[in-house]
Amino acid sequence: MQFSSIRFNGGRPLLKEITAERLNAILTEIRRLRPLPGRGITTRATGEGIAIDLAATTGGGTTSVSTHPFQISSVQDPENENSYIIRVLPGTLNGLLPTNTFADGALTEFSVGEDEVAYVKLVGATDGTSQFVSCEIVVDNEPAAPQIPTAFSLPTDPEFLLGVVYNAAAYNTISDSLTVIGQIQFTTDREEAPQPGELPYVSWYVWAAP
């Protein structure tokens, strides 16, 4: 509600200057605009008005930072101004935690040089047929190697790109744990006639998200 400018004349009763209906409307608007307490917020009356107190936040910031599996961070090495330290939060590949996620009770630290483009990868090890047996995080200057399709089986050491780091900037390419299954990439004709019970073509497989 908006009110036009009101000027009062001294020596005259208030009700001579403003109607009761107008006064009640003003009081209603004042109550509506009154600050109310809430979570982390308290109000108190002072001689100059209503004071609003905000509870202090912890962690040195006013907003919380969400995290996700395989989230990458990069900070300058406090002991070497020409390198950066990369850390990767825990995540899983088909339910397996990378074997080098932790070291000495903390997240494993990977060191890269200043102004170097670093690729953060997840390298798996499979039984060649249907499942992973282990995986590890690898950080180097080489992109993730493309999978080579395998006939009637699955690649044994696939690589998956988790993100790219340049100095203190980290860019994730995924934001969740990985789940992959064997999928047919393409098929080819058999060089020889198929035997009874064999398919008339050759299937070539890779690991991919379902």
Distances (CA, A) of 56 to 42, 52, 106, 130: 12, 13, 29, 52
What confidence tens digit (pLDDT) does each residue in 12-36 have? 666 566 677 777 877 777 777 666 6
What confidence tens digit (pLDDT) does each residue in 83-113 have? 999 999 999 999 999 999 999 999 999 999 9
3 state SS for 42-77: EEEEECCEEEEEECCCCCCCCCCCCCCCCCEEEEEC
The predicted model scores a pTM of 0.66
> Which pLDDT band, with edges at 50, 70 and 90, does 130 fall under?
confident
Q: Contact, 156 vs 207, CB < 8 A?
A: no
Which amino acid, 155?
A: P
* Mean pLDDT in residue range 44-59: 63
3 state SS for 37-50: CECCEEEEEECCEE
